[in-house]
Amino acid sequence: MIRLLVIVFYIFITTQVTAYADSPPRSNPVPGGVTILTLAPSASANGTAPRAYYNGERVMVLRNGERWQAVVGIPLLSTPGTHTLQVEAGDKTLTQLSFAVRDKQYASQHITLKDQRKVEPTPDDLVRIERETAEIKRALGLWTDQDDIPTGFALPVQGEPSNSFGFRRFFNDQPRKPHSGMDISAAQGAPIHAPAPGTVIATGDYFFNGNTIFIDHGQGLITMYCHLSRISVEPGQTVQRGDTIGAVGMTGRATGPHLHWGVSLNRTQVDPSLFVQ
């Protein structure tokens, strides 16, 4: 049973200052990376935060000192070259800001699975996967206006972090989508902790991801925790940095106990290591 908290909110113009609650993520303008763009002073009118959009998706905007900055997630399948950010000032004036995305070549990873269904799902599995994909997209697409965004994370579990983000994956020699998170090897049942304050927005048991938790940190910054053996939180629950949210497992498509940790920014899966303090 998938449990999803539906959040209704009203968007309004505010003069409150939205700022980094701690250090910003590291900028790395490559596919799957993050770029931080300082907006021109004219982008702010009457002290209100400007809005920014990339590929049609709203982007996090935070104050850093006297300037506003856009924190932009770059999709893994982006083409290197010049990209454009649209900026809307408080007076609705629209401007464009260009930025460069550098090329990055990710390694390949070949994984052998004993359960062929996890490589070639049955028709019934495909119906389930389609339903779950829609659920996951809704969770990762949530936007909440929030002050003091926690952009500096602690590792959620004590273990062996991998550098497998972005790897081009082959399951039983069949190509699949690039790996969109950080795998952290840890013992079965090891506690998983919230890396920063947030609100649990959904939990579920998914065909590929297994037992999964989604946490909203504000302004489109969502973290995801997959393959858990146990979920210890409920949708709607507020968590603080260090709170136990679940335990390491190998549910879903996994060859051993580990945590798949994903970070989503403006509906884009980005490299979690850029947020680790």
- Residues 126-154 have a mean pLDDT of 93
DSSP characters over 22-59 = SPPPPPB-STT-EEEEEPPGGG-STTPPPEEEETTEEE
Residues 131 and 263 in one domain: yes
**Residue 149 to residue 143: CA distance in whole angstroms:** 12
Q: Half-sphere exposure of residue 118, counting CA atoms within 13 Å on the CB side?
A: 18
Q: Percentage of residues in the chain with pLDDT exceeding 70?
A: 87
pLDDT band at 16 (very low <50, low <70, confident <90, very high): very low
DSSP characters over 87-110 = EE-TT--EEEEEEEE---PPPEEE
Using the 3D structure, point to which of 80, 101, 122 is the last residue of a domain: 101
pLDDT of 86 = 95
Residues 201 and 128 in one domain: yes
Residues 95 and 184 in one domain: no
Residues 39 and 128 in one domain: no
pLDDT of 170 = 72
Q: Identify the CA nearest to 193 among candidates 241, 258, 257, 251.
A: 241
Residues 154 and 223 in one domain: yes
For residue 161, what is the domain's CATH number? 2.70.70.10
CB atoms within 10 A of CB 3: 13
Domain span holding position 76 = 10-101
Strands 108-111 and 168-171: parallel
DSSP bridge pairs for 83:
99
Residue 247: C-alpha distances to residues 34, 192, 243, 269 (Å):
29, 5, 12, 22
Residues 96 and 120 in one domain: no
pLDDT, tens only, 245-275: 999 999 998 888 999 999 999 999 999 999 9
pLDDT band at 2 (very low <50, low <70, confident <90, very high): very low
Residues 31 and 78 in one domain: yes
Residues 155 and 267 in one domain: yes
Q: Identify the CA nearest to 231 among candidates 251, 255, 212.
A: 212
- What is the total count of domains within the chain? 2
Residue 52: C-alpha distances to residues 8, 11, 21, 63 (Å):
21, 14, 20, 13
Residue 83 has pLDDT above 90, yes or no: yes
Residues 76 and 207 in one domain: no
- Token pair in block for residue 146: 């929030």
pLDDT band at 225 (very low <50, low <70, confident <90, very high): very high
